[in-house]
Amino acid sequence: MAKSWRLAGTDSPRRILEGISASQDVRVGKVFLVKSAVDDFVRRRIEPDEVDMEIMRLREAIRRTREEMEGLQAQLARDFGKDHAKIVEADIMILDDPLVVNETVRLVTEEKRNAEWAFHGGISKVIDALETIEDEYLRHRSADVKDILRRVLWNLAAPSRRELREIKEPVIVVARDLSLAEMAQMPREMVLGIATDRGGRYSHTAISARDKWRIPAVVGLGTVSQSVRDGDTIVVDGNRGVVVISPTPAEIEQYHEEEKRLRVQVTRAKPESREPARTSDGHELDLSANIETVDELDLVISQGANGVGLYRTEFTFLARGDLPGEEDQFEMYREVAERLKPDYAVIRTVDLGGDKLLPGLHTPEDNPFLGWRGIRLSLARPDMFKTQLRAILRASAYGSLKTLLPMISGVEEMREARLIYEEVKENLRREGIPFDEDCPLGAMIETPSAATITDFLAEESDFFSVGSNDLVQYTLAADRGNEKVAHLYEPMHPAVLRMMKYVVDTARAKGRWVGICGEMGSDPLATFVLVGMGYDGISTNPIVLPEIRSIIEAVSYSEAQEIAETCLTFRTSADVRAYLRRNLIARLKAKDGA
Ligand code: PEP
Ligand code: MG
């Protein structure tokens, strides 16, 4: 839980906030505060000469919202029939409701409230009225009206979101919560570090800060966004999981020294090989890397990965804020295939949803991680899905690609996706467009349901990749991005280990290749277990890849098997961790001494 304290016995503004380290390293810098469009909208009294401007902003935000809703209505009509689309029609009408519009305009013109505050006031009357009504249906309608409020506030904030793209000097980004979509908008070279009130170590934003941007990040700080202002100096200390607000000059110097030391260490680590990894007795497994964009390939190759085990393609969708067309996607996937050849790359179809929402595609859901996410969304949007599959298959002619489907939870989804895959292939054949006829179609194992029917799925799926990040959160019912349950989110939990062992045994018995691409693959403590369980491949964050390689080399296959067996006998994750720590230290020492 987040804690904070002041320097004892002084009036110094210096404070330390304690959170969760999401990405190591340290940085000192000036704060750039990101406001959440919905939760943090500014309530401001305007000057009389600003009234027209605020009314214009409102009209523009309402117009954009109407356009979005009409797009949604057309999509619903296409996918589910006209009756479903009628629900949205009723929502659109609220945007013209005289009660809302007149009250909003009155609040701007008479009470001189800014647009956000006025619209909030205008629509709140409708929400309050609906919430007091006995009728259950009408009470539920208040959730739809709140959705309209969110959308209009989001559109009112569009210009300030554009500011994210235009950060011009190096800053430390501070936010209540930072979505991956917001992060994708920012110029990477200008972001020194990240500090957020909310979030856990395994949220997609945290993973991106760690794997892709390699900047320090501390999340779950509780109140950092209320404790600093734009331009304040702070330290993000991802090594200790703290943020120092208004550090003393001596501290700043000390942290600068630490920054320099760490940079030297990183440049020193030089990998030698792009071979598969080998245990000390020659058992081989693929050692590949995870990427989010094509520009990470240089690093992946220089770190000695023998392939890309997970390409999270949705990052590009989020950075653009829309759905890229076939040609744009084809160019990206082709570059990956060509640059990695003869090694393979696993291209995962978009895993949008959960904490990766694309405005215009998503409407707010009560439980987004249990909602319209991954393959569910792709199957509901066959146009989008087919475009992506065509791009992947066309690119497969230029190297060795595999297609991976996120969030599979049952055989039906796999079958439906396979039918579409075959249809896309058939069309390409007919058009005379080359592609790899054997480009495999695999399933991510990241839901407990998929894990427990691995044997059935093996009949539908050419290979498997375990997404431990989601498998852990769904198995343990602990949100990967919620700091309050971060202590329950535990990859070494006996239930997770059992499930992972079952998956690998079952997949192998059915002759299916099975790898892991979740963050567990990047945790040195988990390496012996994964090797010993018999995983065919580990895909890691590119930075730790050389370290994971040397850990694999420090153990024989039979020793790793024994270690994995022993781990499965422990009843608590603490016991598993203590045992693995002892083993890792002993074997690395033995390797160094050899
Ligand atoms: C996972 O869930 O482990 C995974 C690799 O997918 P993501 O982190 O993108 O959800
Ligand atoms: Mg996942």
Residue 517 falls in the annotated catalytic set: yes
In single-letter form, the type of residue at position 51 comes to V
pLDDT of residue 520: 97
**pLDDT tens digits along 434-460:** 999 999 999 999 999 999 999 999 999
What mean pLDDT do residues 370-399 have?
96
> CATH for 48-157, among 3.10.450.50, 3.40.50.10280, 1.10.274.10, 3.40.47.10?
1.10.274.10
pLDDT digits (tens, 9 = 90+) for 86-130: 777 888 888 888 888 889 999 999 999 999 999 999 988 888 887
Atom of ligand 1 nearest to the CA of 202: 8
pLDDT in tens, 52-80: 999 998 998 898 888 878 877 777 777 66
pLDDT score, position 267: 46
> Any bridge partners for residue 431, and if so which?
none
How far apart are the CA of 90 and the centre of ligand 2, in A? 35
Given a cut of 70, is residue 9 above it in pLDDT?
Answer: no
Domain boundaries, the chain: 3-35+163-263, 48-157, 284-542
467 CA from centroid of ligand 1 (Å) = 5
Centre of ligand 2 from the C-alpha of residue 137, in Å: 35
Pocket of ligand 1 (CB under 6 A): 207, 310, 312, 351, 446, 467-470, 517-518
284-542 in CATH: which number? 3.20.20.60
The predicted-structure confidence for 143-170, as pLDDT tens digits, reads as follows 778 878 888 888 887 666 667 788 899 9
Query: What are 192-208's pLDDT values in tens digits?
Result: 999 999 999 998 889 99
With tokens 């939990």, the residue in question is 493
Check residue 39 and give its pLDDT: 65
Residue given tokens 């523009």 in the structure block: 60
Instruction: Taking the CA atoms of 379, 362, 98 and 130 in sequence, report the sign of the dihedral they define.
Output: positive
pLDDT attached to residue 268: 45
Neighbour count for residue 270 (Cβ, 10 Å): 9
pLDDT value, residue 3: 61
Identify the weakest region by mean pLDDT among 14-18, 26-30, 150-154: 150-154
pLDDT computed for residue 1 by the predictor: 47
**308 alpha carbon – ligand 1 mean position (Å):** 14
Percent residues over pLDDT 70 in the chain: 92
Is the pLDDT higher at 42 or at 371?
371
Task: Work out which ligand 1 atom sits closest to the CA atom of 471.
Answer: 2
What is the predicted pLDDT for the residue at 270? 52
Which tokens is 418 given? 């396979």
Q: pLDDT tens digits for 324-339?
A: 999 999 999 999 999 9
Q: Catalytic residue, from 204, 283, 362, 493: name it.
A: 204
Q: For 3-35+163-263, which CATH class?
A: alpha beta
Q: Which atom of ligand 1 is nearest to the CA of 312?
A: 9
**Local structure of 481: helix, strand or coil:** coil
Cα 406 to ligand 2 centroid, rounded to whole Å? 7
CB-based contact 308:539 (threshold 8 Å) = yes
Q: What pLDDT is attached to residue 346? A: 98
Residue 38 has pLDDT above 50, yes or no: yes
Q: Which atom of ligand 1 is found nearest the CA of 519?
A: 3
Task: Ligand 1, residue 351: give the atom nearest the CA.
Answer: 9
Q: Which of 51-65, 126-140, 180-194, 530-544 has the lowest mean pLDDT?
A: 126-140
Annotated active-site residue in 120, 439, 517, 567: 517
Amino acid at 568: L
The answer, yes or no, to whether residue 289 has pLDDT greater than 60, is yes
Query: Residue 368: pLDDT above 50?
Result: yes
Q: Which of 360, 348, 370, 356 has its CA nearest to residue 323? A: 360
Q: Is the pLDDT of residue 359 over 80?
A: no
Look up the pTM and report it.
Answer: 0.79
* Residue ID of nearest Cα to ligand 1 atom 6: 467
**Residue nearest to ligand 1 atom 8, measured at CA:** 469
Let me know how long the chain is: 594
- Best residue among 444, 464, 472, 530 to mutate for probing ligand 1's pocket (most ligand atoms within 8 Å of CB) is 444
Neighbours of 60 (CB within 10 A): 15
Does residue 205 contact residue 179 with C-beta atoms inside 8 Å?
yes
pLDDT of 320 reads 81
439 given a catalytic annotation:
no
Omega before residue 342 within 30° of 0, cis: yes
Q: Is the pLDDT of residue 524 over 90?
A: yes
Give 365's pLDDT tier (boundaries 50, 70, 90): confident
Cβ–Cβ under 8 Å, residues 496 and 490: yes
Supply the mean pLDDT for the chain. Answer: 90
Tell me the one-letter amino acid at 457.
Answer: L
Give the CA angle between residues 546, 548, 550 to the nearest 5°: 70
pLDDT of 83 strictly over 80: no
* Cα 488 to ligand 2 centre (Å): 18
For a ligand 1 pocket test, name from 446, 471, 489, 535 the mutation site with the most ligand atoms within 8 angstroms of its C-beta: 446
